[in-house]
Amino acid sequence: MSVYAKGVACFRQYKTPAFRHRLLKVIRETRISSWLCQSIVPENISIHKVSGAMTNAVFFVSCPPWPGVKTLLLRVYGPSSGTLINRSRELHILHILSSQYRIGPRVYGTFDNGRLEEYFDSSALTAEDLRDPEISRWIAIRMAQLHSVDIDAIEENDDEGKGWDIAAKRNVKGWMAPAQEVLDLPGVQDTQRTAINLELFQQQWATYLEKLAKHEDTSFGSRRVFAHNDTQYGNLLRSSHLKEGLPKHQQIVVVDFEYASPNPAAYDIANHFFEWTADYHGAEPHILQLQDKYPTLVERQNFYRAYLEHSNLESRASVEELMKQLDEQVLLWRPASHAIWALWGLVQARDDVEQGVENPEFDYVGYAQCRFDGFRRDLALL
Domain boundary among 55, 89, 119: 119
Same domain, 32 and 160: no
Same domain, 369 and 245: yes
Q: Which residues pair with 110 in a beta bridge?
A: 4, 115
Separate counts of helices (H) and strands (E) for the chain: 14, 11
- Cα distance between residue 381 and residue 148, in whole Å: 30
User: Which positions ≥6 away from 297 have C-beta within 8 Å?
Assistant: 327
pLDDT band at residue 160 using 50, 70 and 90 as cut-offs? very low
Angle at 13 between CA 11 and CA 18, to 5 degrees: 115
- Cα distance between residue 270 and residue 123, in whole Å: 24
- Cα distance between residue 43 and residue 33, in whole Å: 19
User: Which positions ≥6 away from 269 have C-beta within 8 Å?
Assistant: 143, 303, 307, 326, 330
Comparing CA positions, the residue from 361, 349, 350, 300 lying closest to residue 137 is 300
Same domain, 237 and 217: yes
Q: Read off φ and ψ for residue 226, nearest 5 degrees.
A: -80, 110
User: Quick check: 157 pLDDT over 90?
Assistant: no
User: Which positions ≥6 away from 1 have C-beta within 8 Å?
Assistant: 95
Angle at 340 between CA 355 and CA 142, to 5 degrees: 115
Domain boundary among 96, 119, 142: 119
Q: Which amino acid is at 344?
A: W
**pTM score above 0.85:** yes
Same domain, 158 and 284: yes
Same domain, 161 and 101: no
Same domain, 305 and 166: yes
Mean pLDDT over residues 328-341, rounded? 97
So what's the pLDDT on residue 268? 97
- Cα distance between residue 138 and residue 206, in whole Å: 36
- Cα distance between residue 2 and residue 90, in whole Å: 13
The whole domain housing 305 covers: 123-381
Q: To the nearest whole percent, how much of the chain has pLDDT over 70? A: 91
Same domain, 94 and 156: no
So what's the pLDDT on residue 165? 61
Q: How does DSSP classify residue 8?
A: P
So what's the pLDDT on residue 54? 63
Mean pLDDT over residues 100-126, rounded? 88
Pairing assessment for the beta strands 122-124 and 236-239 based on DSSP bridges: antiparallel
Mean pLDDT over residues 47-73, rounded? 84
So what's the pLDDT on residue 1? 40
Highest mean pLDDT among 80-84, 116-120, 204-208, 255-259: 204-208
Domain boundary among 119, 142, 173: 119
So what's the pLDDT on residue 164? 43
Comparing CA positions, the residue from 217, 221, 219 lying closest to residue 144 is 221
Per the structure, how many domains does the chain have? Answer: 2
Transcribe 203-266 into DSSP letters.
Answer: HHHHHHHHHHHHH--TTTTT-EEEE-S---GGGEEEES---TTS-GGGGEEE---TT-EEEEHH
Q: Read off φ and ψ for residue 178, nearest 5 degrees.
A: -65, -30
Same domain, 68 and 156: no
Q: Which residues pair with 60 in a beta bridge?
A: 48, 73
pLDDT band at residue 76 using 50, 70 and 90 as cut-offs? confident
Mean pLDDT over residues 204-220, rounded? 91
Phi-psi region of 102 (alpha: psi -120 to 50; beta: other; left: phi over 0): left
Question: 3-state DSSP helix/strand/coil percent for the chain, to nearest 5?
Answer: 50, 15, 35
Same domain, 142 and 63: no
Domain CATH number, residue 8: 3.30.200.20
pLDDT band at residue 82 using 50, 70 and 90 as cut-offs? low
pLDDT band at residue 78 using 50, 70 and 90 as cut-offs? confident
Same domain, 77 and 114: yes
Task: Lowest mean pLDDT of 61-65, 137-141, 219-223, 309-313, name the range.
Answer: 219-223
Same domain, 235 and 87: no
CA distances from 170 to 56, 167, 174, 340 (A): 22, 5, 6, 10
Same domain, 135 and 114: no
- The mean pLDDT value of the chain amounts to 89
Mean pLDDT over residues 45-60, rounded? 79
Domain CATH number, residue 193: 3.90.1200.10
Mean pLDDT over residues 92-121, rounded? 87
